[in-house]
Amino acid sequence: MNRKSILMCPGPSEVHPEVILAMAKPLVSHVDPSFFALLDRLQDQLKTIFQTKNTCMLLPGTGTSGMEASLINFLDPGDKVLVGIIGHFGERIRIIAERIGCEVKVVSAPEGNALDPNDVENAIKGFSPKLFACVHAETSTGVLQPLKDIMDICKKYEVLTLVDTVASLGGVNVPVDELGIDIVYSGSQKCLGCPPGVAPISFSPRAESVLESLKPRNYYLDLRLIKKYWLERVYHHTPPVNLFYACNKGFDLIIEEGLINRFERHRKIGLALQKGLEVMGFKFVAQRDVQNPVVTAIYLPPEIEDVKLRKILLEEFGIEIALGIAQLKGKIARFGTMAESARPQNVLYLLSALENILKRFGIFKESGVDVASSIL
């Protein structure tokens, strides 16, 4: 099958051709003056995108490398960590913190809900953690965690904050300084619209003083050494040069579009998809008030087996979607409307493909294309 499939899964997302082509720029070495200039530009771009004055860098790894770096560089064995878990990726934070040897307490929410700030406050009061970590956009459920109240509570109790923005940065507002997030990371391949393999990270002066005080127990993701490379040009590793070219171009496109315009585009596209799905009779995993515009998870009717749906969409329509993970495995389908995937034609095509499939299974009720179209 030689057809180019359309990525409507929650990452990787469609990448602009100019970003792909940027990778083909002539390779220079990691100590070439022109590459050092690129590192400076990337830092400026990241500060714009993270909306922060804090230190920003790109890690030579995927989103999960950002997660591990954000924990292992700021935590010692025995440190108390409060983890907010509303799905698979919060669970992953817990696993990593436990592997470090931290004392971990969990605050969670029922399936499809965001964390309740009161629960977070109560957990902090009784536990006095050094760090609170949560996921902004939980890709496994489509829930977008409201951050303001929780971050305010952490500030009140002087708890260090860590937020995973892998599935939100570049598509949903993440005003790092305004929210007072200490440590934040993302992945290149979702709303940032770049190829996978790079993890943007940013940390506050407060986090930095913790970093400097810790005995290093890792090396590849040692933020002290990586920062020395980015700021003082002291060799630590050979970065994925071509991926950095791609990020530079991808970030340019984000800044040219404008953050506000870009968030509005993602909001509208997500809304159109969700209204369409609703009219068609699908139920959502996420509660309406915390529904992420860029990740939509729907429960599947008993007539449609998840792997069958995925196969039909991929093989017959050339659309790539994702299914449920962990406890949601077998029950749901997940769609991503991120970066270049968040375009009207993709949403309408996905909805009409789903309609076609519902008809085939004899469970078609009403078309969602019209309502989606009216929003787009």
Contact window for its own copies (CB under 8 A) among 64-72, 257-265, 278-286, 289-297: 64-72
d(CA 376, CA 370): 10
Asked if 16 touches its own copies (CB under 8 A), the answer is no
Please tell me whether residue 23 binds its own copies under the rule CB under 8 A: yes
Amino acid letter for position 276: G
By CB atoms closer than 10 A (0-12, 13-18, 19+), residue 140 is buried
Binding flags for its own copies, 295-314, as an x/- string (CB under 8 A) = -------------------x
162 vs 372 by CB, closer to its own copies = 162
Q: Does 174 bind its own copies (CB under 8 A)?
A: no
Site string for its own copies, 208-247 (x = CB under 8 A): --------xxxxxx-------------xxxxxxxxx--x-
CA angle 204, 205, 211 (to 5 degrees): 90
Nearer to its own copies, 20 or 375 (CB): 20
Distance, first Cα to last Cα, the chain = 31
The size of the interface with its own copies (CB under 8 A), counted in residues, is: 62
Closest approach of Cβ 55 to its own copies, in Å? 20
Min CB(363)–its own copies separation in Å: 26
68 touches its own copies (CB under 8 A): yes
331 binds its own copies (CB under 8 A): no
Q: Kindly tell me which of 252 and 340 has the beta carbon lying closer to its own copies.
A: 340
- The stretch among 26-34, 127-135, 250-258, 280-288 that binds its own copies (CB under 8 A) is 26-34
Residues 92-111 that bind its own copies (CB under 8 A): 92, 95-96, 99-101
Residue numbers of the site for its own copies (CB under 8 A)?
1, 4-5, 7, 9, 11-12, 14-15, 20-21, 23-24, 26-34, 60-65, 67-68, 72, 92, 95-96, 99-101, 187, 189, 195-197, 216-221, 235-243, 246, 314, 320, 322, 325
